[in-house]
Chain A
């Protein structure tokens, strides 16, 4: 899975990926983000996930996002999701993630 990671601002990271966040890919997606944050010199607290090219998210993808959220939330950080399609949005809503994730 191709994942593009960019630093934005002092403490932010912008993530853009393409494809499905499912059983086969979700873990890879999460690992790449975590590795990037760890390798950064500065502390990262804000994560922006661009979902414009994400076509599918299953519980495995949701699990990865919850994991990331917990990690950032400990440092008072947030996760912001951009361009989430309605279909994917319904999944977020189904499991109540819309209550703590920010959507743009």
Chain B
């Protein structure tokens, strides 16, 4: 049922909502209950307190009844035979009937019973064993009861109409040493006051009872039944006469205030006025006062601490709050767990797996719950598989493309120099495809012993199809060119063959050059291609003005114009595809033919390799970081003519080997009919340089030396090359040949002699080679 994340979240949301509702309900309920309960309690406790109050009232009534009985006995004693024995019995009887009475008696006015006897009184009290004892000790001069305050008060206040007088409480320091209150009544005989009857009430017990007050059973459910109410206190006072009868206020010296004004009780006013509807705050504690007025002007106020009253309610409420807090804490934990378990963890797992898959690991994702993630995982899994198969496909295509690229590249002649023993010409070509495989190509080969053919071409379109077409064309031209056709025949046959096999509408622009390397006679065929640039001796590069034919593969049986020219030694032909002139810079401006021409003319090198590289660099600088949009292909052909005036010799430069070198030198001199004087000079110089290379260029291990002897019209030059450490012998200072022989150094003569003999001498360091050239005029 709760399989999906959505349902889980919903469940949690409902749970939270339910919790909030329950919490609010509880709070409202308890808030209301608190008030209500308080009112109920007040009511009920007023009953409880009333029962206690009733007891007090009863005591009062009992005391008064008791008192009346005593007064009656007193009057009887006075009127009758004045039997002490009977009176004692009567008093004892009364005490037995009123078990709560602690003490009391009859006190006659002085000398009224017996003119010779001042004191006549009957006082009874209960001892500790509840035995009633008649104490005659009060008839003593020491006590002198007529002078006691209670006696004076009562006797002065009683009248036949108002025959009951309550004394102010007083501290009894004769008998029981407690706080007492005495209620008195006059003993009237025929309207004459002859004495008083008194009943004592020990107040300490009243207060003590308040402290021990227990709620009645079933007073109210929230209160603990049967337990004492702790920390309660009470005030018992007389409102009419405004004095304190008793109190156990814990913050007041109780004995000291008894009998004083009620105003001395700090909380009294509040309590009396409020009549227990709310709390009083006394010494930072809340109390609920219960006020009860007695009918004779007395008041009993009982203060109960609120916390005690609500202990049970509060306990329950506290428990409930704890439970709520517990639940409140549990919910985030549950949320956290759910989020982690159902969302974060699956995401983490997916992430981890995604990373592993990214690294190429082969992993299957398995998540069963929750449903969303199970679905996501299976989708992910499928995606991974799809991706893998696509990637493999791609990799396959890529590898096939790179194979195609390497096939294409290897099909182009790419070893330079291609004919190292041929001095008649130099050639260099390069192709940089825009994509993996390009549509440009070049080729060159001998079509017979003396005729050399080179071509550069651009197939329409790019990519693999163009490359395949290019391969076809290239093979076709290569094969057909070996058939001994004339250039015109060759190109027409090639065109027809291409047209016949070309179903996809490809065409190819080609520039073909066929050079007789012995004579320099050249045929150039341009089939829709960029015209070549030619540099003749002592002039600049310029476009060859030749007829452009239609591209190959367009129309069958097309006719082609052939351009015939003769190359002289030193002439250079520069051919290219449109990738060169149409290379664009960041402002979308093409490299262009003018720029190409200018750049070519700034190149002083005459070797095809250098020319190609410099143009390539120039284009790169021009396009900067712009993507190459087309294949860039160049082919440079340099015609040298037949060279028989250059001789090259290579040998390891080592002491003892010079003999071989001069044998070669002498042979060349003889072949070229060089006179003896010059040949002697060449010999001397060669030997000197040979020695220099041996000792200075290769001081440790013997290295290779290459000498090139060139015969020109008016001079002979000899060039020495070595790969040794840089050493320019011309920097050596000349020796002084006029010094006396004793002072002359042994060395330094060789270079001096060379300088003397050669007409010109150069040193350069190129590509880690020392090149020293000596020129001798003929």
Contacts and interface: CB of A to CB of B under 8 A. Distances in A.
Contacts of B752: 94-95
Given A22-B658, A24-B659, A63-B746, A100 B741 contact: yes
Interface residues of B, number: 29
B203 to A, nearest CB: 152
A83 interface: no
Interface residues of A, number: 22
Interface string A64-104: 00110110010000000000000100010011110110000
Contact of A70 (B683, B735, B742): B742
A59 interface: yes
Most buried by B among A56, A59, A70, A87: A59
Contacts of A40: none
B593 interface: no
Contact of A59 (B659, B676, B753): B753
B680 interface: yes
A73 B680 contact: no
Interface in B646-666: 655-656, 658-659
Nearest to A60: B691
A96 B756 CA distance: 13
B753 A66 contact: no
B766 interface: no
A90 B615 CA distance: 52
Nearest to A56: B683
Contact of A87 (B658, B680, B741): B680
A94 B658 contact: no
Given A91-B684, A94-B756, A67 B741 contact: no
A87 B656 CA distance: 24
B738 A59 contact: no
A5 interface: no
B680 A56 contact: yes
A77 to B, nearest CB: 12
B481 to A, nearest CB: 53
A42 B737 CA distance: 33
Nearest to A86: B677
A67 B691 contact: no
Interface in B696-749: 735, 737-738, 740-742, 744, 746-747, 749
A94 B751 CA distance: 12
A67 to B, nearest CB: 6
B677 A95 contact: no
A31 interface: no
B247 to A, nearest CB: 144
Contacts of A62: 749
Interface in A13-54: 22-24
Contact of B691 (A23, A70, A100): A23
Contact of A96 (B659, B690, B738): B738
A69 B741 CA distance: 8
B741 A73 contact: yes
Contacts of B683: 56
A22 B658 CA distance: 9
A23 to B, nearest CB: 5
Contacts of B753: 58-59, 91, 94-95
Contacts of A70: 741-742
A87 B713 CA distance: 25
A67 B740 contact: no
B25 to A, nearest CB: 121
A22 B687 contact: yes
A74 to B, nearest CB: 8
A92 B757 CA distance: 13
A69 B688 CA distance: 22
Given A24-B659, A62-B749, A100-B740, 15 more contacts: A22-B658, A22-B687, A23-B691, A58-B687, A58-B753, A59-B688, A60-B687, A60-B691, A70-B742, A73-B741, A73-B742, A94-B757, A95-B752, A97-B741, A100-B741
Task: Report the 3 A-B pairs with minimum CB-CB distance, sorted nearest first.
Answer: A96-B737, A59-B750, A59-B749
Interface of B: 655-656, 658-659, 676-677, 680, 683-684, 687-688, 690-691, 694, 735, 737-738, 740-742, 744, 746-747, 749-750, 752-753, 756-757
10 contacts: A23-B690, A58-B688, A59-B749, A59-B753, A60-B687, A62-B749, A95-B752, A97-B741, A99-B738, A100-B741
